[in-house]
C-alpha cells in the first residue's frame, strides 16, 4: 500500500531534482542557507559548554511533523553556526583549521546536490575521471614518477593509514604472504616503522590498526627545530639491524604539526632505498608548498617517495574532508582489490575504473570536485602568494614574541606556526591563558608540549590576517598572563 498524502505534502520540495523546478527549489534553499549565517563578532561565541549542551539536548531532532526548511535552517543558524568556531577570524589560530575558499564552499553544494559516489564508475563517470586527473596532476607536481597516481581520502590520518597498509602488503609479499588475505605472518613481530619523534600520532594509530602494534614504531630524535636528525636515524637503523628487526617503512614528515619542521627528505629517501624499505612522506601540512615556487624548494627529495600524504583541507583552504594519498606506482593499489558481484565486478567496459579498488572506503564523497573547481578558479600564483603570506606572518609573530620580555619562542617559526611560552610561567599558567581566552571567546589558541616543554601555539591559516591582527593577539596573550 502506498501512503496517503495530504495536499500540503509535496515531495518535489524535498528531493533534489535537476529539472527547472528542482533547480529553482535548490536556488531558493541555497539563499535560505546562506541567510542563516550571521556576521561573527569573534572567533567563538561566549557560550559555556554546559549551556551549549543544554540547548542542544532540548532540540527535537526528528519531530513527527517537520518544521519546514526555512525554520530548520534558521534554527541551525542560531543554534549551531552562531555557536561554532570561526576559522576566518584572525584570532582563531589554534589548529590546522582553515577558512574555506568561496569556490570550494559553493562547489560543496553542487557536490551534495548531484551526489556522485566515488566507489564505482557507474556512480560517478566524470567524477572518477576528475579525481584521477587531479591525482595525476598532483603526482606530477610532486615529481613522483610517470606511473604516479593516487586516491582521495577523508584526511591525513586515513592517507597515512592507507600508505602503511600498502607498505605492509609489500613487506608481507616478500615472505610470500598476502597479508590482506591470510593475515600477518610470524615475521611481522619484527617489522618496524621508523619516523621522527615529532611525527603525527596517526603513524602509531595506523600501526595499531594494522596489527603491528604501536610498539612497532621507532621514534627518531629531532633537532631543536623539530626535524629528524639523520645521525640519529642512522643510529636507530643500525640498532634495528643488530636486533634482527626489519625495516618496513620510513615515514618522513614534511611539516610537523606543531613546529612545521620538514625532515631532510633526500637523505632519508637514500636510507630507505638502502634498506629496501617503503618511503612515505607525510606532507599533510607542507604539501601545499608545492603551490609556491619559492616554498617548494624546501620539499627537495619528496619525489623519491613511494607514497605521499597531502591534505587539501589544511593549507589548500578546502572544507573538510579533502586529503590525498599519492603513490609512485598506481599498481601498488592492486593489492587492495576485492572484487564484488554488485560493485567492482571486473568485467566492465574497458576504461571504466572503479575507484573502490584503491580505497579503504566503499561509498565515498566526491571531494575532488571542490579542489579542482577552486584550484582552477583561483590559480596557482594567487594560492602560492596566500601561503607565502601566512609563512611571513608566522615569522613576524616570532619577531614580536622575541621583542616581548614576558614571552619566548620555543623554536624559530618555519612554517605557518609560531610556538612559544612565557618566562616564569608554569604549564598550568599556559593552560589557564588558553582556556580563559577560549571561554571568553576572545582567542582560540593552540596549546601543546614540545619535548616535555609546555607551550602555546599560533597556527596562521587565514590569508586575510594582518600583522596588526598578530600584534593584537599577542597583546591579548600578554594581558591574560599578567592577569593570572
Indicate the helix (H) or strand (E) that contains 282: strand 278-283
Q: Which is nearer to ligand PLP, 415 or 465 (CB)?
A: 415
Residues in a beta bridge with 353: none
Say how far apart CA 187 and CA 172 lie, in whole Å.
Answer: 9
Residue matched to cell numbers 576485492: 338
Query: Residue 215: how many CB atoms within 10 A of its CB?
Result: 10
Q: Which is nearer to ligand PLP, 165 or 253 (CB)?
A: 253
Q: How many residues does the chain have?
A: 484
- Tell which one of 163, 285, 288, 393 touches ligand PLP (CB under 6 A): 285
**Whole-number minimum distance, CB 173 to ligand PLP, in Å?**
26
Segment interacting with ligand PLP (CB under 6 A) among 80-88, 109-117, 277-285, 351-359 = 277-285
Count, residues near ligand PLP per rule CB under 6 A: 16
The residues in 79-108 that bind ligand PLP, with binding defined as CB under 6 A, are: 96
Per-residue binder mask for ligand PLP (CB under 6 A), 61-80, x = binder: --------------------
Q: Residue 332 carries which DSSP code?
A: G
Q: Which is nearer to ligand PLP, 310 or 375 (CB)?
A: 310
Segment interacting with ligand PLP (CB under 6 A) among 153-161, 174-182, 380-388, 400-408 = 153-161
**Long-range contacts formed by 268-271: CB under 8 A, 24+ apart:** 268/228, 268/230, 268/233, 268/301, 269/301, 269/304, 269/305, 270/304, 271/230, 271/233, 271/234, 271/237
30, burial (CB in 10 Å: exposed 0-12, middle 13-18, buried 19+): middle
Q: Which is nearer to ligand PLP, 257 or 359 (CB)?
A: 257
- Tell which one of 200, 280, 358, 365 touches ligand PLP (CB under 6 A): 200
**Whole-number minimum distance, CB 484 to ligand PLP, in Å?**
29
The residues in 159-188 that bind ligand PLP, with binding defined as CB under 6 A, are: 160
* 155 is a contact residue toward ligand PLP (CB under 6 A): yes
Residue nearest to ligand PLP (CB): 156
- Tell which one of 107, 116, 149, 157 touches ligand PLP (CB under 6 A): 157
Torsion of CA 32, 34, 39, 42, to 10 degrees: 120
* 196 is a contact residue toward ligand PLP (CB under 6 A): no
- Tell which one of 204, 323, 359, 462 touches ligand PLP (CB under 6 A): 323
**Whole-number minimum distance, CB 322 to ligand PLP, in Å?**
9
* 424-457 CB burial, b ≥16 within 10 A, e <16: ebeeebbebbbeebbeebbbbbbbbebeeebbbb
- Tell which one of 43, 98, 156, 301 touches ligand PLP (CB under 6 A): 156
Q: Which is nearer to ligand PLP, 135 or 407 (CB)?
A: 135
Q: Strand 407-409 and strand 323-327: pairing?
A: unpaired
Amino acid at each position: 500500500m502506498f501512503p496517503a498524502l495530504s495536499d500540503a505534502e509535496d515531495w518535489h520540495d524535498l528531493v533534489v531534482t535537476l529539472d527547472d523546478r528542482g533547480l529553482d527549489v535548490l536556488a531558493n534553499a541555497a539563499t535560505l542557507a546562506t541567510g542563516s549565517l550571521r556576521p561573527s563578532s569573534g572567533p567563538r561565541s561566549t557560550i559555556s559548554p554546559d549551556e551549549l549542551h543544554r540547548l542542544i539536548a532540548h532540540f527535537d531532532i526528528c519531530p513527527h511533523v517537520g518544521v519546514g526548511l526555512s525554520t530548520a535552517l534558521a534554527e541551525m543558524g542560531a543554534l549551531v553556526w552562531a555557536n561554532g568556531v570561526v576559522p576566518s577570524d584572525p584570532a582563531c589560530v589554534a589548529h590546522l583549521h582553515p577558512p574555506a575558499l568561496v569556490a570550494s564552499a559553493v562547489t560543496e553544494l553542487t557536490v551534495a546536490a548531484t551526489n556522485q559516489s566515488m566507489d564505482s564508475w557507474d556512480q560517478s563517470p566524470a567524477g572518477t575521471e576528475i579525481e584521477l586527473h587531479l591525482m595525476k596532476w598532483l603526482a606530477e607536481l610532486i615529481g613522483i614518477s610517470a606511473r604516479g597516481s593516487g586516491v582521495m581520502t577523508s584526511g591525513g590520518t586515513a592517507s597515512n593509514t592507507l600508505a602503511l597498509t600498502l607498505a605492509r602488503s609489500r613487506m608481507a609479499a616478500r615472505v610470500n604472504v598476502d597479508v590482506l588475505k591470510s593475515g600477518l605472518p610470524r615475521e611481522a613481530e619484527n617489522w618496524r616503522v621508523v619516523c621522527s619523534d615529532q611525527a603525527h600520532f596517526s603513524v602509531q594509530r595506523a600501526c595499531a590498526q594494522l596489527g603491528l602494534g604501536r610498539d612497532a614504531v621507532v621514534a627518531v630524535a629531532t633537532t631543536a627545530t623539530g626535524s629528524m636528525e639523520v645521525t640519529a636515524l642512522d643510529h636507530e637503523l643500525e640498532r634495528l639491524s643488530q636486533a634482527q628487526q626489519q625495516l618496513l617503512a620510513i615515514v618522513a614528515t614534511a611539516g610537523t604539526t606543531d613546529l612545521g619542521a620538514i625532515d631532510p627528505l633526500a637523505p632519508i629517501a637514500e636510507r630507505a632505498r638502502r634498506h629496501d624499505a617503503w618511503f612515505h612522506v607525510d606532507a599533510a601540512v607542507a604539501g601545499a608548498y608545492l603551490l609556491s615556487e619559492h616554498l617548494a624548494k624546501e620539499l627537495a627529495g619528496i619525489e623519491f617517495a613511494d607514497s605521499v600524504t597531502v591534505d587539501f583541507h589544511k593549507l589548500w583552504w578546502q572544507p573538510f574532508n579533502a586529503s590525498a594519498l599519492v603513490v609512485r606506482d598506481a599498481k601498488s593499489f592492486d593489492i587492495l582489490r576485492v572484487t564484488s558481484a554488485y560493485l567492482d565486478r571486473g568485467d566492465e567496459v574497458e576504461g571504466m575504473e572503479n575507484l573502490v579498488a584503491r580505497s579503504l572506503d566503499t561509498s565515498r564523497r566526491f571531494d575532488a570536485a571542490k579542489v579542482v573547481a577552486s584550484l582552477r578558479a583561483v590559480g596557482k600564483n594567487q594560492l602560492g602568494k596566500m601561503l607565502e603570506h601566512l609563512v611571513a606572518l608566522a615569522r613576524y609573530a616570532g619577531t614580536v614574541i622575541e621583542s616581548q620580555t614576558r614571552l619566548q619562542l620555543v623554536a624559530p617559526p618555519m612554517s605557518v606556526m609560531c610556538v612559544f611560552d612565557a618566562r616564569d610561567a608554569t604549564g598550568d599558567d599556559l593552560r589557564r591563558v588558553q582556556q580563559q581566552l577560549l571561554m571568553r571567546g576572545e582567542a582560540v589558541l593552540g596549546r601543546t608540549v614540545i619535548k616535555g616543554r609546555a607551550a602555546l601555539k599560533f597556527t596562521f591559516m587565514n590569508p586575510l590576517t594582518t600583522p596588526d591582527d598578530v600584534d593584537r593577539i599577542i597583546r591579548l596573550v600578554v594581558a591574560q598572563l599578567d592577569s593570572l
